Structure 1
């Protein structure tokens, strides 16, 4: 009897241990599977490079850089060899060379009378410019310099940057100021983590943004490897500019979208991949910078050129409070604040002429 009870207990214990072992194995397999899924979900798909068998066709003129990448461009204005003033235009987020607002809406009279030439580039990963896996704050400035040299724009040229393109202008002011004849920043995006911004002011402006933008920017800054997943999953909304959330636009912006911006063809902007264009843009723009724009020195100490910053006082995407602080910290910047204007004020009729003439100190 005792032997029978012992055998039953032994068998029962063996079964329990087998079940526990099986459960642990199932749990381990499930955990491995979950981690594999999570890893795969955060990995962006490979880019579809223009000109490759699986990629979009090449339709634009392009400059080949020293590292083998190409930058696509579009020319506006008078012929380059007859131009008196040469500009490079750097587009903003979710746009490309086709959306060079200042070039597109500049009056023919201003172009001809002043001899204006503007070349708009696709930033890396956008439209037909090759992605840049090693894209940094500094590299975009070096790209601009090499592009200008290979296009033979001369010793010095002017820059115009809109929104996220304005961040590229800050980079050029830092790394290639000796190549600039002047620069214009149009509602440049501001990184809330720039070390020179007062913590209380930065926090105030950051917390005033809509919730989905606060979360998306935190991810881009603190966990950039999650940026692709965050802005493509369906559990909660991505950053507002990707979701086209109405709350991020002022009343003027909405009017301009209906009249101009909403009619622009953006079908090719992300054709090489959302990660290579939009998501890398977020990671770079709101990551940890190698320098702080608020600590830049005057690139034109002898007044041989000028830097202009234009800002709408009702801009929700690039809040005016931060621009005012930057303009105060950098008194050599010519600051122009437009009452009642939002982020898209460059589309206002006549604004392109005003921007160009102000940069060139030409009066109407």
Structure 2
């Protein structure tokens, strides 16, 4: 496995005087894609650097406030994050921005989409809205306890998360909770070095940024995923065992789908992309959430570890539906999905590098 260091590093100043740290890969005039990293990591851990030039993609990974090179913002909210990204997009000239949320970065990416900042979104092994009432009987006891703690006393929960947040502890938690296929990826020397470096930078200011992120991700989200009208791609490995990624995944046999490239610019709030590798047998993963219908086709048996760098995956449809009271809001499903956000050029970037 090859992990490529950022090609460009810098910080962008916000109107309130704070700065956001960012890292970039790919052509400066490429289609901008904003990466919201997972829990306890930083801008240093990107993905797909070896294909960005060919795809014409400019990948921008951003440290959330209090992590890495971004100044803290005590008491920040998901709406505050979207506001920060709005200013960053102007400063960095990220016109036609698409967003990617990995793991705990999912609610932050969706917050940007809900705020109208993104042309499309991809959720990679993303955490669902665990505090949604429909998940009450689906969470494992440890996760249920975490969600209840955040709901009953957010400040105390945040202090508790800060108490055990450090790079080594988080690394051990990641390894202990990983499936065998994920652990194999984590322990490959190049990946382990890169992951540990990203965690070390994330905690360079202390654990407060990580703790705040966890409170925001574990509480009720201030938006309904059903209100996100741009195309959303969902990527989940069928061997993903994380209890916070997919509390209620369901997989069912389905009809084959013709092999063809995904559409370049999905329209009408619908994502339709296909698996060029095929599935034997092909699978579907229908799931009705409050206000959402999610459906995937041609899901192949891939490891969850591969979701760190999403492979070309299965078909996924995302469209608004009538609200249902029997199931929760969210984005969790099993399998992998591929997404093509299109290629939208933009002017050369500005802002001083570090």
- Residue 351, structure 1, aligned to residue 292, structure 2: no
Q: Is contact 1:224–1:283 with CA below 8 Å preserved after alignment? A: yes
Rounded to whole Å, the distance in 2 between the matches of 1:232 and 1:360 is 36
* Greater helix fraction, Structure 1 or Structure 2: 1
- Residue 185, structure 1, aligned to residue 112, structure 2: no
Within a 5 Å distance, the mapping from 1:157-236 to structure 2 comes to 157-176=97-116, 179-195=117-133, 198=134, 202-207=135-140, 211-231=141-161
Q: 1:231 to 1:320 in 2, by over 3 A?
A: closer
Rounded to whole Å, the distance in 1 between the matches of 2:151 and 2:102 is 21
Rounded to whole Å, the distance in 1 between the matches of 2:9 and 2:147 is 33
Rounded to whole Å, the distance in 1 between the matches of 2:201 and 2:217 is 22
- Residue 106, structure 1, aligned to residue 42, structure 2: no
Give the Å deviation of 1:352: 7.9
Rounded to whole Å, the distance in 1 between the matches of 2:97 and 2:295 is 18
TM-score, length-normalised on structure 1? 0.65
Q: Is contact 2:181–2:303 with CA below 8 Å preserved after alignment? A: yes
The corresponding residue for 1:118 is: 59
The corresponding residue for 1:56 is: none
The corresponding residue for 2:232 is: 307
Give the Å deviation of 1:340: 4.6
Give the Å deviation of 1:98: 0.2
Q: 1:336 to 1:328 in 2, by over 3 A?
A: farther
Q: Is contact 2:22–2:61 with CA below 8 Å preserved after alignment? A: yes
The corresponding residue for 1:252 is: 181
Q: Which has the larger radius of gyration?
A: 1
Q: Which has the higher contact order (CA 8 A, sep 6+)?
A: 2
- Can you list the C-alpha shifts for 1:87-120, whole angstroms capped at 9, x where unaligned? 11111101000012x2xx332xx32333221111
- Residue 279, structure 1, aligned to residue 204, structure 2: no
The corresponding residue for 1:67 is: 16
The corresponding residue for 2:25 is: 76
Rounded to whole Å, the distance in 2 between the matches of 1:356 and 1:180 is 19
The corresponding residue for 1:28 is: none
Instruction: Report the RMSD for the aligned CA atoms in angstroms.
Output: 3.3
TM-score, length-normalised on structure 2? 0.66
Q: Is contact 1:312–1:320 with CA below 8 Å preserved after alignment? A: no
Rounded to whole Å, the distance in 1 between the matches of 2:297 and 2:132 is 20
Query: How many residues matched?
Result: 270
- Can you list the C-alpha shifts for 1:285-325, whole angstroms capped at 9, x where unaligned? 112322222x32423xxxxxx32111122323202625963
Q: 1:227 to 1:338 in 2, by over 3 A?
A: farther
1:330 to 275, 292, 297: 292
Q: Which runs of 5+ in 1 are unaligned?
A: 1-58, 235-239, 300-305
Q: 1:336 to 1:162 in 2, by over 3 A?
A: farther
Rounded to whole Å, the distance in 2 between the matches of 1:151 and 1:358 is 24
The corresponding residue for 1:321 is: 248
For the residue of structure 1 that corresponds to 2:229, the secondary structure is: coil
- Residue 341, structure 1, aligned to residue 303, structure 2: yes
Rounded to whole Å, the distance in 2 between the matches of 1:331 and 1:280 is 30
For the residue of structure 2 that corresponds to 1:312, the secondary structure is: coil
Q: Is contact 1:90–1:165 with CA below 8 Å preserved after alignment? A: yes
Q: Which runs of 5+ in 2 are unaligned?
A: 1-7, 251-284, 315-335, 344-354
Q: 1:215 to 1:281 in 2, by over 3 A?
A: same
Rounded to whole Å, the distance in 2 between the matches of 1:146 and 1:220 is 29
